[in-house]
A and B are shown apart, each in its own frame.
Chain A
Amino acid sequence: MADITVFTARRVRTMEASMPTAEAVAVRDGRIVEVGTLENMAPWLDGYDHEIDDTFSDHVIMPGFIDPHLHPSMAAVLLPMEFTTVVEWDLPWSDIGAVGGRVELLDRLIELDAKLEPEAPLFAWGHHPIWHGEVDRETLNGISATRPVIVWHRGYHSMIVNDACYRWMDIDLEAARRHPQIDVDRGAFFETGLGVAYRHMNSFLLGTERFRAGLDRMRQVIHHGGQTTIGDAAMGMYGFEDEWEHLKAVMERPDTPFRIQLMPFDMGPVGDEESDEAMIERILAYPQRNTHRLRFSDHVKMFADGGFFAELLMLKSPGHLDGRHGEWMTPPERFERVARAFWNAGLRIHVHCTGDLGVEMVLSTLEKLQSERPRFNHRFTFEHFGISSAQQVARMAEVGALASVNAYYVYELSRAFADHTLGYERASQMSRLGSLERAGIRFAVHSDFTMAPAKPLNNAWVAANRLNESGEVMCANERASLDAAIKAITSNAAYVLGLEDEIGSLRWGKQADFTILEADPYDVGAEGLRDIPIWGTVFEGEKFPI
């Protein structure tokens, strides 16, 4: 085995301003020794045993893609299920077409029923009444009289089941009938009623074998998206030590072509059992358990307001279109106290933040912290960044905030939220990337998988085009430039994770993580980003074709 491997390519796209393109990357022990031309590499190549690998002579080498915010554990619960959403999913084990309406949903369920083992429950995730209309128990009895059929809401709000599922759950229907958020006749469980359903289903959904099979699917999803680094933006949602064991068993393997940055999180309103000091001590100790691929660092996660898909964002005036209310996931007083403790301990804070009142609360806290104890290079990051104003963006720039944005909201939700949740003006300006770019704020785009497909090129495509599922361009002025959209899945995503010295661009000393494309995104342009075929990845110098 040679000391140095030189990967040559049709083009190397470095994402380094000093040398944006090159012809070859020389790699030793999983790290880059030099990027440039074979000619210029002569001092290295003359001095060391080397081999030229021209596998990519017809391809473009990009820095390995980075998805800084997703949830492997949520994915592990969901990926063993069948997907029936209004948008298409291209998953490694199958291409799943969009399920556009009620008839299509029922057809899909009939098809799935015919395909599955006789006794296996059919979990179908992705129902949304805006597109699929109402589905009830009788509808699902029509799909199967013997197989449990469960239709789960796109935003995890509600669940519709059939009679066979009632038998499978062994649920007391008379007791369920008294529950205000269970409609036994319709087979519907929603909000707190879901808790009743979960207690009959969790041993199945969270069973070790199924959960690990789900995580293994997650492994494939990440590889197919071209990511070589991902961030788990809330490690421990289903129990910290259990998740840690599952992650080690499934992810820490030589054939896993990516690493995971793990972010512990503040428990929000239920965390007062532990003092802030004890929590910080616990968080600071996590890196001691790091393995090769699973790594904690000094980044922590906090939560401000509720979920975007769940429409629980906290909004400034005029609020929700239908008068409903959002939710604080962390009381503002606790948020400020814990954020101050984290800030003063030198931790880097990421905040889940979806509505403009959520942004306001977080931003005013950050402003306070900056005036109490100024910090540079703090990487305070607004995560998701659903609804905000241009004026808030200007203030974010003043205090050095970053953003990690779910651009995909625009694709799937902008039309539905314009009609049902926010009205057009605000909905069209969700995930405002153009303003961030104009303000000079570095931003990443993420999938928050399974909220969006874990496909960085697709999310960059949404960021740069703002086309929604109905084919409309939503607020062209909030598009990211092509360059910013690509940085958002490479160099700036690395910056958001605090890993800019390790990954995110191609230069000497960095990890030899590449995403291998059939075309250069800068040649293809914004419109074609999502259609660029991915050959596979190189992780720490080793090739992993898809």
Chain B
Amino acid sequence: MISSVEPIPVTVLGGYLGAGKTTLVNRLLSGDHGRRLAVLVNDFGEVNIDVDLITSHEGETISLQNGCVCCSIADALGESLDRVLALDPAPDQVVIEASGVADPAKVAAYGYGWPGCRLDAVIVLADAETIQAKAKDQFVGELVTRQLRGADLVLVTKSDLVSPEVLDSVLDWVRSIAAVPVLPVSRGEVDPEVVLAMSRSDLDVGSARVATRGTSPLTDAEAMFETATLALPGPLTRARLEATMSLWSQDVVRVKGIVWVAEADGGNAQPHVVQRVGLRWSIEPATTNIDQETEGGRLVVVVLRGTLDAAALIKDLVDAE
């Protein structure tokens, strides 16, 4: 059962023109991620959807066989958001493609403020080949820098088009501006699990699916991340969960799961949805009925491969308790 008040996660995709937002949107719309996404784009012009996958195209909205919809914002983001929130069934997640000259942090206000929504993450894309030059441009340099500063997660795109040395220096440069996870991406191949929140359909079928998710057909992308899943042996206090998670570094790209959380030691534990992207995280009571198959719930942690031991992170969490 899904409560009607469960807020829908909203992801804002930002970044200057040419950063690869549309490529990512195309991938999300056609991807095999099992979620019904509503993707709000500035225009359909560049969205490249296989016509065989389109089930209907009415006015500003294109519906796809996989349950996703793509909706043109025109110049009324609020109206478009209302339109997709009113869909039946409701989408699992809304992705807003911000305009290239928008400050994504401002667009994000729609995510955390619009009735029925919660902000999942601001993801900003940066073109490995041009980002540093753009950041010095007399007309848009300040804006491009501000876009990066507003991110919870930065994807450095077209990283296959520069040498490894250049890529390293670009990644370092981005990190010097934005203290968040910074991930290189080639050919738009980013694991949807990094971009997308845990969906309501994940919750709907119980936590078991959380553990089986996270595999992607994109082998390159898979190789970039390491995912650890752990069934927690018992409830955690909110204070412990917050304290431990706040110590995790920016190499922790995403955390999601259901955890039985008690407000105080020995208190009554309730299932909570835990989501973290970069340094933005939330612990909200689950309004969906959860089949309790473990004592404490499950957490999925995605880290950059080779940077951290994901299993050890979760072990820290449990040991600390």
Contact = CB atoms under 8 A, between A and B. Distances in A.
Given A199-B78, A331-B100, A270 B112 contact: no
Interface string B107-123: 10110111110000000
A105 B190 CA distance: 55
Interface in B126-170: 138-140, 142-143, 146
Interface string A249-288: 0000000000000000001011111110000000000000
Contacts of A193: 109, 113
A332 B143 CA distance: 12
Interface stretch (A108-116, A124-132, A171-179, A393-401): A171-179
Given A269-B42, A272-B43, A325-B146, A182 B113 contact: yes
B109 A361 contact: no
Given A199-B78, A325-B146, A357-B139, A269 B114 contact: no
Nearest to B110: A192
Interface string B95-108: 00001111100110
Contacts of A181: 109, 113
With most chain A CB atoms within 10 A of its CB, the pick from B45, B73, B99 is B99
A199 B76 CA distance: 10
Contacts of B76: 195
Contact of B101 (A182, A192, A195, A328): A328
A328 B78 contact: no
Contacts of A325: 103, 142-143, 146
A270 B113 contact: no
Interface in A450-499: none
Contacts of B110: 192, 195
B73 A270 contact: yes
A267 B43 CA distance: 11
A327 B101 contact: yes
Contacts of A176: 115
Interface in A143-175: 172, 175
B79 interface: yes
Contacts of B143: 325, 328
Given A179-B109, A179-B113, A331-B140, A270 B82 contact: no
A375 interface: no
A318 to B, nearest CB: 12
Contacts of A178: 112-113
A191 interface: yes
A341 B74 CA distance: 22
A198 B138 CA distance: 35
A196 interface: yes
B137 to A, nearest CB: 8
A19 to B, nearest CB: 48
B46 interface: yes
B59 to A, nearest CB: 12
Contact of A334 (B17, B46, B106, B115): B17
A269 B78 contact: no
A199 B82 contact: yes
A179 B43 contact: no
A360 interface: yes
Contacts of B45: 272-275
A272 B46 contact: yes
A333 interface: yes
Given A333-B17, A334-B17, A273 B140 contact: no
Interface in A196-210: 196, 198-199
A270 B46 contact: no
B113 A269 contact: no
Interface in A282-330: 314, 325, 327-330
Interface in A332-382: 332-334, 357, 360-361
A122 B205 CA distance: 50
Contacts of B109: 179-181, 191-193
Given A328-B140, A360-B138, A270 B114 contact: no
Given A328-B101, A328-B140, A196 B78 contact: yes
B319 interface: no
Contacts of A199: 78-79, 82
Contacts of B73: 270
Nearest to B142: A325
A182 B72 CA distance: 25
A357 B138 CA distance: 8
B113 A180 contact: yes
B99 A270 contact: yes
A192 B82 CA distance: 14
Contacts of A198: 78
B138 to A, nearest CB: 7
Interface of B: 16-18, 42-46, 72-79, 82, 99-103, 106-107, 109-110, 112-116, 138-140, 142-143, 146
27 contacts: A172-B115, A176-B115, A178-B113, A180-B112, A180-B113, A181-B113, A191-B109, A192-B110, A195-B76, A195-B110, A196-B78, A196-B114, A199-B78, A269-B100, A270-B43, A270-B73, A270-B99, A273-B44, A273-B45, A314-B139, A325-B146, A331-B16, A331-B100, A331-B101, A331-B140, A332-B139, A333-B17
Given A181-B109, A192-B113, 15 more contacts: A172-B115, A182-B113, A191-B106, A192-B110, A195-B76, A196-B78, A269-B101, A272-B42, A272-B43, A273-B45, A328-B101, A330-B101, A332-B140, A357-B138, A360-B138
For the complex of A and B, the 5 pairs showing the least CB-CB separation, nearest first, are A179-B113, A195-B78, A175-B115, A273-B43, A269-B99
